[in-house]
Amino acid sequence: MTRWTAADIPDQTGRTALITGANSGLGRRSAQALAERGARVLIACRDAEKGRAALAEIARTATTAPELVELDLTDLASIHRAADAVRDRTDGLDVLMNNAGVMATPRRSTSDGFELQIGTNHLGHAALTWLLLPALRPGARVVTVSSLAHRFGGLDVDDLNFTRRRYQPLRAYSQSKLANLLFALELDRAAKRAGRDLISVAAHPGMAMTELTGNSSRLRAMPDAVHDVVGLGTRLVTQPAERGALPQLYAATARGVRGGDYFGPGGIGELRGHPSRARLSKAARDAGTAARLWAVTAEHTGVAPSWS
């Protein structure tokens, strides 16, 4: 693929996209880009005040006014309400972008008792996706945002919540991002088995300067002087959020994208650059683990995919 940019996004008039975590970072940049190309964009976020501020910013250049959907991915009841709201307010979705996430947090639990990172990054998005399957139009794309960190640790399907293992923030983050990829690829396989016209793909931003990286718990805990030096180093090796959002925008809109594809920056180490095909770890390609995760996710969330 060539040096693809947001200017290459095809006309999105008549298309509807739901983006989680679209009040900031990669989600907001993605929402802005799609809205500027004519899409009806639903911004799903937990903080309504921040959501309204993002709406006002995006609306300044949008051709179609964006809309707010209140969604707390750490609360299954909120996920059900959001899915109901989307089904009630639209006649279908063309893009579901599972973008929101938390990174390297201290040990915390969601409203439903899940470890916060696996609960937010994977379980919440899986439940939302399954609840919205009937609302996805033929040819719709589900874009799940993963990370380079998916390569840095394994996934224990039988201990997603670290009840038996010692909790390590970065290990838990890596596990959640690997779960994102396993889910995206299994969703593609399940859609094909069901004969459903659905494209499930994944993307990662490389090293992008967003609120997620800038506010990680490890960086916040450093002394001020060290914090400043590390922060400067981070800015030197990362790319702006606008560039970091390009792989997920490519996955959501570019022609020729196929189910099971994975995109990231095309530069050295996939850290920065224009969108290109990304490398999946061996663990991410394990269909057996993906199938087990699919089943355990349904047990944990009480939600199962409905293809009708």
Q: Is residue 230 part of a domain?
A: no
> Would you tell me the crossing angle of helices 48-59 and 25-36 to the nearest 10 degrees?
40
Angle at 214 between CA 98 and CA 231, to 5 degrees: 150
| Residue 225 counted as domain residue | no
Q: Which helix (H) or strand (E) holds 2?
A: none
pLDDT single digits (tens) 204-247: 999 986 666 544 555 455 455 533 433 444 555 689 999 999 99
Q: Residue 8 pLDDT > 80, yes or no?
A: yes
Helix (H, G, I), strand (E, B) or coil at 51: helix
> Average model confidence (pLDDT) for the chain?
92
What gap in Å lies between CA 115 and CA 280, rounded to an integer? 25
Which H or E run contains 133?
A: none
Residue 165 in tokens: 């293992």
What does the pLDDT look like over 187-207, one tens digit per residue?
Answer: 999 999 999 999 999 999 999
What's the number of domains the chain is made of?
Answer: 1
Is 115 within the bounds of a domain?
A: yes
Instruction: Tell me the three state secondary structure of residue 203.
Output: strand
Query: What single letter denotes the amino acid at residue 211?
Result: E
Question: Do residues 76 and 111 touch, judged by C-beta distance below 8 A?
Answer: yes
Is residue 250 annotated as part of the catalytic site, yes or no? no
Q: Which of 77-86, 188-197, 202-211, 293-302 has the lowest mean pLDDT?
A: 202-211
| Range of the structural domain that residue 179 is part of | 10-205+245-300
> Does residue 256 register a pLDDT over 50?
yes
What's the half-sphere exposure (Cβ side, CA atoms, 13 Å) at 73? 26
Q: Which of 28-42, 145-159, 212-226, 234-248 has the highest mean pLDDT?
A: 28-42
User: What pLDDT score was predicted for residue 228?
Assistant: 42
DSSP 54-111: HHHHHHTT-SS--EEEE--TT-HHHHHHHHHHHHHH-S-EEEEEE-----SPPS-B-T
The CATH number linked to 77 is 3.40.50.720
Residues 6+ apart with CB under 8 A from 188: 198, 199, 200, 201, 259, 260
In this structure, is residue 239 part of a structural domain?
Answer: no
The residue-averaged pLDDT of 54-71 equals 96
Mean pLDDT across 158-178: 96
Do the domain assignments include residue 111? yes
Query: Looking at the predicted structure, is the pLDDT value of residue 21 above 80?
Result: yes
Residue position matching structure tokens 């010692």: 166
φ, ψ (nearest 5 deg) of residue 186: -70, -35
- Cβ count near 210 (within 10 Å): 23
Regarding pTM above 0.85, the answer is yes
The answer to whether 56 touches 49, Cβ cutoff 8 Å, is: no
Q: Kindly state whether residue 306 falls inside one of the protein's structural domains.
A: no
Please, what is the end-to-end C-alpha distance for the chain in angstroms? 35
Buried b (16+ CB within 10 A) or exposed e, 4-19: bebebbeebeebbbbb
CA dist 131 → 73, 102, 271 (Å): 13, 22, 33
Query: 210 in a domain, yes or no?
Result: no
- Bridge partners of 202, per DSSP, are 144, 262
pLDDT > 60? residue 71 = yes
* Pairwise CA distance, residues 205 & 242, whole Å: 10
Instruction: Find, among 41, 127, 140, the residue nearest to 301 by Cα.
Output: 127
What pLDDT score does 226 carry? 38
Among candidate residues 167, 173, 250, 262, the one labeled active-site is: 173
Q: Which residue has the higher pLDDT, 219 or 257?
A: 257
* Over residues 288-299, mean pLDDT: 98
Label residue 22 by pLDDT band (50, 70, 90). Answer: very high
Residue percentage of the chain with pLDDT more than 90: 87
23 has pLDDT over 90: yes
**The predicted structure's pLDDT at residue 223:** 57
> DSSP string spanning 229-272?
HHHHHHHHHSEEHHHHTHHHHHHHH-TT--TT-EEEE-SGGGSS
Q: Is residue 216 part of a domain?
A: no
